[in-house]
């Protein structure tokens, strides 16, 4: 029994999916990412937290190359990020991204939104893409909304469609950048539940969120960022009960008491 769990842990520890090494990025004079070293293993769920402006969104955006980096390397599944063209489109499909604003195509139905990338990037046949889209929409609980337009759905439903759309590409890793921040409070849980389910199914996830309940229950690791740096990393239990840095203590006292 012990042997089995040790073996499992060892293999997981060497199974690196997303690796950032010495990543630096500037916006003009602003050093927005400073010597970022971060490794995410296959199946791992990492929650990134930190004060506004600390570089969390920029970090996510560099991982699917919505932003370029100045120095350092980023690899996905052992391969450096492609620069452009079809390779880049494929990378974007491998790295599913869910934003605060849902970014669905307003003039396309929910079903079409979830089919589009499959057909265009993955070159999946229409019929097959539709079957997959319907199955995914069912899975995130909006199967009955397939023929509506995004504006006819609630925010929580639209965000679940956005998750289904990313999943339709068969991503290796899912990035979530404050996926519930724009939602009315009563809709937050329905989105977090879908994310919890994904985590349980073994999806590799990088999640920027202020939802500490989610971090506690779903994350393997919390990464705390401030001023463009990773200040500390720990398990949720360690991080929330015993933050080591003053920055983290200060941040936690603010978000946990308001």
Ligand X SMILES: Nc1ncnc2c1ncn2[C@@H]1O[C@H](COP(=O)(O)OP(=O)(O)O)[C@@H](O)[C@H]1O
- Comparing C-alpha atoms, which of 154, 178, 170, 141 is closest to residue 104? 154
**Which region among 26-34, 76-84, 110-118, 166-174 touches ligand X (by CB under 6 A)?**
26-34
Pairing of strands 229-234, 221-226: antiparallel
Note whether 109 and 146 are within 8 A (CB): yes
26 forms part of the interface with ligand X (CB under 6 A): no
The stretches of 108-243 forming alpha helices (DSSP H) are 110-120, 126-139, 155-168, 185-200, 212-218, 236-241
Cβ distance to Mg ion smaller for residue 56 or 160: 56
* Cβ neighbours around 195 below 10 Å, total: 26
27 forms part of the interface with ligand X (CB under 6 A): yes
Distance of alpha carbon 82 from alpha carbon 225, whole angstroms: 26
Please state the φ and ψ torsions of residue 126, each to the nearest 5 degrees.
Answer: -55, -45
- Comparing C-alpha atoms, which of 231, 248, 152, 164 is closest to residue 198? 164
**Looking at the DSSP assignment, which residues form a beta bridge with residue 42?**
none
Nearest approach, Cβ of 187 to ligand X (angstroms)?
Answer: 22
Pairing of strands 71-76, 16-27: antiparallel
Residues 50-69 that bind Mg ion (CB under 5 A): 56-57
**Looking at the DSSP assignment, which residues form a beta bridge with residue 226?**
229
> In this chain, which residue has its C-beta nearest to Mg ion?
57
72 binds, among Mg ion, ligand X, none (CB under 5 to 8 A by kind): none
Distance of alpha carbon 136 from alpha carbon 114, whole angstroms: 9
**Which region among 16-24, 48-56, 164-172, 247-255 touches ligand X (by CB under 6 A)?**
48-56
Nearest approach, Cβ of 117 to ligand X (angstroms)?
Answer: 24
57 forms part of the interface with ligand X (CB under 6 A): yes
Cβ distance to ligand X smaller for residue 62 or 145: 62
Please count the residues of this chain forming the interface with ligand X, following the rule CB under 6 A: 11
Cβ distance to ligand X smaller for residue 51 or 141: 51
**Which region among 5-13, 27-35, 73-81, 110-118 touches ligand X (by CB under 6 A)?**
27-35
Cβ distance to ligand X smaller for residue 55 or 117: 55
HSE toward the beta carbon, residue 166, CA cutoff 13 A: 29
In the list 18, 36, 46, 54, the residue contacting ligand X (rule: CB under 6 A) is: 54
The site for Mg ion (CB under 5 A) is made up of 56-57
The site for ligand X (CB under 6 A) is made up of 27, 30, 32, 50, 52-58
């Amino acid at each position: 029994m012990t042997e089995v769990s040790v073996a499992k842990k060892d293999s997981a520890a060497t199974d690196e999916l997303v690796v950032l090494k010495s990543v630096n990025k500037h916006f003009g004079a602003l050093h927005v990412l400073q010597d970022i070293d971060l490794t995410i293993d296959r199946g791992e769920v990492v929650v990134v937290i930190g004060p506004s402006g600390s570089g969390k969104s920029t970090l996510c955006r560099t991982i699917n190359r919505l932003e370029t980096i100045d120095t350092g390397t980023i690899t996905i599944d052992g391969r450096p990020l492609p620069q452009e063209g079809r390779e880049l489109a494929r990378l974007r499909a491998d790295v599913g991204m869910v934003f605060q604003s849902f970014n669905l195509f307003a003039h396309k139905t929910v079903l079409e939104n979830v089919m589009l990338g499959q057909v265009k990037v993955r070159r999946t046949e229409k019929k097959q893409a539709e079957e997959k889209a319907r199955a995914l929409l069912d899975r995130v609980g909006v199967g009955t909304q397939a023929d509506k337009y995004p504006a006819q759905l609630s925010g929580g439903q639209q965000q679940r469609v956005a998750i289904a759309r990313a999943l339709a590409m068969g991503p290796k890793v899912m990035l979530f950048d404050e996926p519930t921040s724009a939602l009315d409070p009563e809709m937050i849980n329905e989105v977090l539940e879908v994310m919890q389910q994904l985590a349980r199914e073994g999806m590799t996830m990088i999640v920027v969120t202020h939802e500490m309940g989610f971090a506690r229950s779903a994350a393997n690791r919390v990464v705390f960022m401030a001023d463009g740096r990773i200040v500390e990393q720990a398990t949720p239990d360690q991080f929330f009960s015993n933050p080591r840095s003053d920055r983290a203590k200060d941040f936690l006292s603010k978000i946990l008491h308001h």
